[in-house]
Amino acid sequence: MTLPDFGEVPPADVLQTALQQKGCFLLREILPLPLLQAAKAELEAHYAEADQAWQSGQMTQSAYHKLFQYGHLPFEEGLLPLAEHSEGEANLYTCLLGIDSLKPFLSAVLGPSLFLIEKNSQPRRQHPFWPERQIPFHQDAEFLGGRPALNFWIPLDSCGRNAPGLELWLRPQNRVWFELNLDPLTPLYQQRDVSAIQAQASRDQFWQPEMEPGDLLVFDAYLFHRTWLTESMFLPRYSLEIRLTHPAYAPGLKGREWVL
Ligand SMILES: [Fe+2]
């Protein structure tokens, strides 16, 4: 199977086809490394503070179970502080979303502007020694109210070999399969039976890309994906997840419109 893995940004129609046929595409070496390195250093400090807050009892149980349990920090504690060290939100988003060569694709899919869903834009940390925090097969649409959306998934570490990456099922879906109705006290991967889904797939439809800082993975909110974690991994992985939708789907969502 041809993988949607691009060393150079192809024309918008090629990316649209990849999104329609595979649900995702990976663009190599497209994001600015200094910004990503600064973001990683900043996040390590924020995560150390959050670890301390949790261990000392200052983080509420609900905050822990809602996000931190699975390695997320809320937008206000994760992405927003990054903006201050990248000369403001506008600059951060310009660096991460305003890539000139990607604009024809975004314009073709979303129109003249997009909506950045701040509530669902956050950093994530996954360590191989915390398998209970891995996220099983799911669709982002489960927690986006079924809205069409894109995930800009941005690795801040080399991942997929020595650090946890992502596994993607390269088959477009047109409905949400699971309801987000979870027990916060049981690890997610123990709550979800995905055998019926996996039974529909052939082995070569699953992709576990090795990614480096600078790469950008874009995937559809209906695409099934999960944490890719193997027993030989030994390094942690930090990443950013930035979720976008069409401004028409913005009502009721916390975020901002971004003109392309
Ligand atoms: Fe996800």
User: What 3-state DSSP class applies to 103?
Assistant: helix
CA 25 to ligand 1 centroid distance, Å = 15
CA 2 to ligand 1 centroid distance, Å = 23
Residue 202 is encoded by which pair of tokens? 């052939």
Transcribe 142-207 into DSSP letters. Answer: GGTTT---EEEEEESS-BSSSS-EEEEE-S--SS--S-----TTS-GGGT---HHHHTTS-GGGEE
CA 129 to ligand 1 centroid distance, Å = 20
pLDDT digits (tens, 9 = 90+) for 210-228: 999 999 999 999 999 999 9
pTM over cut 0.85: yes
DSSP state of 114: E
DSSP state of 247: G
| CA distances from residue 12 to 16, 20, 172 in whole angstroms, order as listed | 6, 12, 18
CA 99 to ligand 1 centroid distance, Å = 23
Cβ atoms of 228 and 238 within 8 Å: the answer is: no
CA 142 to ligand 1 centroid distance, Å = 9
Angle between helices 89-97 and 33-55 (to 10 degrees): 120
CA 220 to ligand 1 centroid distance, Å = 10
Domains and CATH numbers, the chain: 5-259 (2.60.120.620)
| Whole-number percent of the chain with pLDDT over 90 | 64
| Whole-number percent of the chain with pLDDT over 70 | 99
CA 227 to ligand 1 centroid distance, Å = 9
Residue position matching structure tokens 């991460």: 96
Give the up-direction half-sphere exposure of residue 37: CA atoms within 13 A in the CB hemisphere: 3
Is pLDDT at 239 greater than 90 in this prediction?
Answer: yes
Cβ atoms of 114 and 257 within 8 Å: the answer is: yes
Helix or strand (DSSP H, E) at 227: strand 225-228
CA 228 to ligand 1 centroid distance, Å = 12
CA 139 to ligand 1 centroid distance, Å = 6
CA 49 to ligand 1 centroid distance, Å = 24
CA 152 to ligand 1 centroid distance, Å = 11
Q: Which residues on neighbouring strands pair with residue 63, listed in sequence order? A: none
CA 125 to ligand 1 centroid distance, Å = 13
User: What 3-state DSSP class applies to 213?
Assistant: strand
CA 138 to ligand 1 centroid distance, Å = 6
Integer-rounded Cα Rg, in Å, for the chain is 17
Q: Could you give the CA distance from residue 21 to residue 80 in angstroms, rounded to a whole number?
A: 34
CA 135 to ligand 1 centroid distance, Å = 8
pLDDT value for 140:
94
Q: How many CB atoms lie within 10 A of CB 7?
A: 10
CA 226 to ligand 1 centroid distance, Å = 7
CA 259 to ligand 1 centroid distance, Å = 25
Average pLDDT over residues 143-160: 94
DSSP H helices, the chain, are: 12-22, 33-55, 61-66, 79-84, 89-97, 103-110, 195-198
pLDDT digits (tens, 9 = 90+) for 176-201: 887 766 777 777 777 778 887 778 88
